[in-house]
A and B are shown apart, each in its own frame.
Chain A
Amino acid sequence: MAQVLIPTPLRQFADKQDTVEVPGRTIGDILATLTSTYPELRKNIFNDEGKLRSFVNVYLNDEDIRYIGKDAARVLDTDIISIVPSIAGGSLV
């Protein structure tokens, strides 16, 4: 099964695990299974419309899923999926 790496602050919503093995053939399947297993993760990753929150990026190995088919991206058992935030800012309002 593919491994999903859980960022530190979200581990409290995944039984304190830093890595979760999730069955599935596509990114969409895997994220759906992950967030139905751990519903508290769901609202941290998805918005009310079921889309990834604006600051959430998902990587399949080293590639942003937006460039490799998004939810339809195919996943192999040896793959590693990471949840990575977008962060920016500035002193100017």
Chain B
Amino acid sequence: MKVSLFITCLSDAFYPNVGESMVRLLARYGVRLDFPPVQTCCGQPAYNSGYWDDARKTAATIIEAFDESDFVISPSGSCTGMIHHYPKLFEHDPVMRVKAEQLQAKSYEFTQFLVHVLGVTDVGATFPHKVTYHPSCHGSRLLGVKDEPLALMQQVKDMELVPLPFAEDCCGFGGTFAVKMANISGAMVTEKADHVLESEAEVLVGLDMACLMNIAGNLRYRNKPVRVMHLAELLYEGVERA
């Protein structure tokens, strides 16, 4: 049984602790992750900007990287969601299209795998902090990952989960949107960070480092000491603490 880690370029380069937490957490359940080093990026920046030829080049590296895998797990609903676009991206290529559909069927966002495949909701973590959760758009709306993170968080001991006002609103990242429409994106992230502060949480947790990088960047810019982390990090840290 080959369970492969699709680390995503952002977590690979900027947030190695997210992948590390996933590897260590899953090892506790006897799942040894495989890491195909030929993997790169899902291709979403090119796809979303309309450069599908360029997106196909990067998508092909991902499809090839996980050709042999039985399960592909990633710490991002957005990058997993991008894999769901692969069949459309290769709709005129019968060979790649089939491979794309196969990859889609075996791709899981981290919490989906934990809850639905391993059947785990209580990882045995303790995390004595006030935490709020931002449900990233692609994971929650396009993949339907809504209950899984909540089920996991509800089992964490000593953790106070407080509601994030207008939690379902986009943080304003949107990939190249944040660069092209910088001021609209800036207004959106400022509003999102306002809501985080309104929740009075010490920790903001989520399932997508791109969104979290965006919100954390704005909080830091405003010198607000809210700790921002991926749920995999929170769970593993909580396990270590317990």
A binds B: no
